[in-house]
Structure 1
Amino acid sequence: MANPIPRILLAGLSGGTGKTIVSLALVRAFTRRGRTVAPFKKGPDYIDAQWLGLAADRSCSNLDPFFHSRDVIRSVFFHKSRGADVSLIEGNRGLFDGMDEWGSCSSAELARMLDAPVALVIDCTKMTRTVAAIVQGCAGFEPGLNLAGVILNRTAGERHRAVLRRSMETYSDVPVLGMLPKMGRNPIPERHMGLMSDQEYDGAAHLDALADLAEDWLDLDGLLAAADAAPEFGPEPGPIFPGSAVPKAARIGYVRDAALWFYYPENLEALEHAGAELVRLSLLDGEPWPEIDGLYLGGGFPEVFAERIAANQPALRYLRSLAEAGMPIYAECGGFMVLCDALEIDGRTHAMAGVFPLTTTFCPRPQGLGYTEAEVVEDTVFFPRGERVLGHEFHYSMCVSDGAAELRHGLRMLRGQGSALGRDGFLHKNTWAGYNHIHALAAPGWAERFVAAAAARRRGGAR
């Protein structure tokens, strides 16, 4: 049975063309018009996805051809688009930029997987007629790409816009779906890893300002028409998580606050599907934690909140006691930093939980960036030995302790930096911690093993 899913993918010629701001503006503008928008983000990303979800008032899922097969991508897209009037996917990097000269895992490849029309955002700074040449080149570069229109960004004034429009009308049949003026500053504040977290201030006013911009400068009706013109999606894909959900067997806590909040929704959903009752926790508010059988510490910005985390010594001591008692604890990036002895930033050292005799120090440049591939070298409650783990890393901190080489570790890095000496996934009893992020749909068995370990702990009476 065919399924109509209005959809459009926003892409750029490179990173920094403004496609994130345009995507947020469109999602918010469509939502304010009464449309239910299902937002998606291409590639490994937490921050843009969080903002897209805030703009749509609906969770945003990531779609990544490196992690996921075509079938998985179509399943996630189909099921997460249910109930929406339009689905919008924000691409990453340049439209055709992938992992090799063939553009594997590119935004263009994702658009073909989803039969999604593409709107191309172009930075028109100091360009006029050349824009038409670029658009024509993109339109014919790869077979199967449906270039539905362009959005001309950072235009200098009415004369600039007039020449751009005439050039496009003269040399191209690709429609112009809006032209945006140059903005004096980014309407959403940025920091080292991208847009600032919405959890640190109220982002609603900023999103509404972007929606106003979209109403004034973009062809919203034309963009919705392009999405409506997408081909029938085809037969309904299988479910995201095969089989029936398992009855609740264990309680797993996860820290979600302004310091730690990098979680793919499917990771939490996979744990629930495998039988976890999830409990949201915080390292910042001082509230005592309820009884739990397992703990998941995601990434985030512990360096920004290092002083507050260090001040919450009762929570840090309790965290260490859980690790010493053998609770299954899985920590990624920022969560790993919290489990170390100390975190250094701006010349100051802040005491952390002390599960691992390591110090992480914050650096001015990224210390690990991009996709990862690793081999599991020790059996744990999370992964069996010999398993190949796909992931990604994006961290500005690094381990500076001499003792890192002596610690047990679960991963040998085949691609990516990891934590130290080509390793990642430091191990202490049933705690796993490192810079590597995983996506549950690319790590079969991770959620089931995590829940099974937590359930075994519950049955054993140690909580």
Structure 2
Amino acid sequence: MTPTIIIAGTHSGCGKTTISSAIMSALTKRGLKVQPFKVGPDFIDPTHHTEICGRVSRNLDPFMMGEDGVLRTFDYASKDADISVIEGVMGLYDGLEGTDAGSTAHVAKILGAPIILIVDAKGSSRSANASVLGFTEFDRSVRIEGVIFNRTGSERHRSMISASLQREALGWIPWEREKSLNSRHLGLKMAHETLPEESPAAFTGIIEENTNLERIIEIAKGADRRENVNVSSGFLGAVNKTRIGVAYDSAFNFYYKDNLDMLEKYGAEIIFFSPMEDDVPAVDALYFGGGYPEINMERLEKSKCRTMIKKHADDGMPIYAECGGLIYLSRSIDYEGRKSEMCGILPSDTVKMNRFQALGYVEAVYRAEGSPLPSGISIKGHEFHYTKMICDYDAKFAMKLSRGKGIEDGRDGLYSGNTIGGYTHAYFSDRFAEAFVNNAVKYSER
């Protein structure tokens, strides 16, 4: 198994994201091929991992992917790496509805991977080790091999913590050197929007000076994945039989790499384009992911791509959209007192609200006959948005949610003709990907 380490935290805000990314940077700087991963459905932290490591960061989410899916993605992405570094989510044991499911600990057990625990030591000494002991004993099947103490103070503070260590200390990050190491919230900006001095890579020197990287590498070699899970052969691409255009720019950039790989597995050639800058490419279907159309709405409104997409939709081209893509396909968006026209394909208007409207995992089934995707397809995913859809009274929805909110009243997948959009960021199943690709093939053969 590829040497693997999981960087976990006692809680959100303990410095896990910055320290994880800076460790990736320090290992990459040493010439190692570092394969990054992120536990959970997050789209933003992986962009920083990808930029730092030069390898696409993958999500590992047992709820959306299942345990076999976690293993499949891990094996596929790590096959030629020197070391895999996995950034956890929230606190180590924080899972779905107070359970272990989907937690960083769950992923650690699936992969048999050792854990380095990040502890915010500010304002404590001996008590920091009591916390480590509690995390260690809470679930003994989880292997916490070492600790990095963040926001440590003077040498005296460090010595007081050292007097009662419960696990090997692998790092002491001094808060005087860089207060931002306390808790960098990277959720506001993607990697391409972040200034070099704001990037986690800017903290590489601090990590090199204050952590035992050699020991971290040694611990990573102790990964011992269980082998009794049946894993599929991964994302083996088929011969290209259709072309799918994928919107990718500063307005649309929330994509799971596994989803794109899944489309390629069933025969799609992926063609990236910018709805703000480009014409619609010569493709047989379109896929719009999430992102920030509201921040870019004036440019999206002025782009001729908007009217081209509407013409393709009227012609019956298969179009699938998620969250930000859903907003773009609606008639308009009202954002902080400003209003812009969008594509006008789906019978709805978008309004930005003052607080988030939905946050959490989604489970759904396609139930509507006549929708662009076959009835009976199951979907798992995630939703997080501040906007609200104002839909026409006769709007049609393809998805019935058993978990999550969707567009309204547990319904998602607003559709018109061969276009469908929802708030759910779906993790594509084989059946979903195959159906979407087949729709594109049928359109190309008309």
TM above 0.5, yes or no, is: yes
Aligned to 2:96, what secondary structure does the other structure show? Answer: coil
Residues 330 and 432, structure 1, Cα contact 8 Å, conserved in 2:
yes
Residues 188 and 196, structure 1, Cα contact 8 Å, conserved in 2:
no
**Aligned twin of 2:382:** 392
CA distance, structure 2, for counterparts of residue 263 and residue 345 of structure 1: 23
* Structural mapping, 1:223-238, within 5 Å: 223-231=216-224, 234=227, 237-238=231-232
1:198-240 superposed Cα distances (whole Å, 9 cap, x missing partner): 2225548734312112112222112111102223665894311
Please list every run of at least 4 consecutive aligned residues from structure 1 whose deviation after the TM superposition is greater than 4 angstroms.
186-191, 201-205, 232-237
* Structural mapping, 1:38-57, within 5 Å: 38-57=35-54
**Aligned twin of 1:239:** 233
Alignment pair present for 1:284 and 2:276:
yes
CA distance, structure 1, for counterparts of residue 376 and residue 50 of structure 2: 36
Alignment pair present for 1:438 and 2:426:
yes
CA shift in 2, pair 1:187/1:293, >3 Å = farther
**Aligned twin of 1:178:** 171
Alignment pair present for 1:256 and 2:248:
yes
The number of equivalent residue pairs is: 443
Q: How far 1:127 moved relative to its partner?
A: 1.4
CA distance, structure 2, for counterparts of residue 348 and residue 187 of structure 1: 36
**Which residue, out of 274, 288, 291, partners 1:300?**
291
1:415-450 superposed Cα distances (whole Å, 9 cap, x missing partner): 11111232111001011101001112xx23111111
Residues 117 and 148, structure 1, Cα contact 8 Å, conserved in 2:
yes
**Aligned twin of 2:120:** 123
Q: What's the TM-score once normalised by structure 2's chain length?
A: 0.94
Q: How far 1:156 moved relative to its partner?
A: 3.1
CA distance, structure 1, for counterparts of residue 61 and residue 369 of structure 2: 28
CA shift in 2, pair 1:35/1:435, >3 Å = same
RMSD: 2.1
**Which residue, out of 107, 111, 115, partners 1:114?**
111
**Which residue, out of 337, 350, 354, partners 1:364?**
354
Q: What's the TM-score once normalised by structure 1's chain length?
A: 0.91
CA distance, structure 1, for counterparts of residue 318 and residue 373 of structure 2: 12
CA distance, structure 1, for counterparts of residue 75 and residue 409 of structure 2: 41
* Structural mapping, 1:67-216, within 5 Å: 67-168=64-165, 172=166, 174-182=167-175, 183-185=178-180, 194-201=187-194, 203=196, 206-216=199-209
Q: How far 1:187 moved relative to its partner?
A: 9.9
Residues 374 and 435, structure 2, Cα contact 8 Å, conserved in 1:
no
Amino acid at match of 1:87: S
CA shift in 2, pair 1:415/1:205, >3 Å = closer
Amino acid at match of 2:422: G
Residues 297 and 335, structure 1, Cα contact 8 Å, conserved in 2:
yes
Amino acid at match of 1:448: E
Residues 337 and 360, structure 1, Cα contact 8 Å, conserved in 2:
yes
